[in-house]
Amino acid sequence: MAMSGGVDSAVAAALLKEEGYEVIGVTLKLWPRVPTAPMVFRLSSCCTPETLEDARLVAAQLGIPHYLLNAERAFEEQVITPFCQEYMAGRTPLPCAVCNRDIKFGSLLKRAAAWGADCVATGHYARTVHDPTTGRVLLKRGVDPEKDQTYFLYPLTPEQLRRIRFPLGEMRKAEVREVAVQLGLRVARKPDSQELCFLPTGDYREFLRERYGEEIQSGVIRDMHGRILGQHPGVAFYTVGQRRGLGIAGGGPHYVVALSPQENAVIVGREEDLFADTLVAERVNFLPFDALQVERPVLATIRYRHPPVEATLSPGDANTVVVQFARPIRAITPGQGVVFYDPRDPDLVVGGGTIAQVLRNAPGSAQPLPASGPRSG
Half-sphere exposure of 280 (CA within 13 A, CB side): 16
Neighbours of 236 (CB within 10 A): 25
Active site residue 84: no
Half-sphere exposure of 332 (CA within 13 A, CB side): 30
CB 180 within 8 A of CB 10: yes
Residue 325 is inside which H or E element, if any?
A: strand 321-330
- Single out the catalytic residue among 46, 47, 84, 99: 99
- Single out the catalytic residue among 46, 47, 96, 197: 197
Active site residue 96: no
Distances (CA, A) of 274 to 63, 117, 308: 53, 48, 18
Burial class of residue 196 (count of CB atoms within 10 Å of its CB; 0-12, 13-18, 19+) = middle
CB 171 within 8 A of CB 126: no
Q: Who's near 84: CB < 8 A, 6+ residues apart?
A: 207, 208, 211, 212
Q: How many helices and strands in the chain, by DSSP H and E?
A: 10, 16
Three-state SS at 308? coil
Distances (CA, A) of 114 to 19, 108, 118, 157: 23, 10, 10, 20
Neighbours of 161 (CB within 10 A): 22
Nearest CA among 239, 312, 327, 226 for reference residue 275: 327
Nearest CA among 332, 206, 325 for reference residue 258: 332
- Angstrom distance (rounded) from CA 93 to CA 193: 19
Q: Who's near 106: CB < 8 A, 6+ residues apart?
A: 160
CB 359 within 8 A of CB 329: no
| Dihedral pair phi/psi, residue 351, rounded to 5° | 160, -160
Q: Which residues form the catalytic set?
A: 99, 197
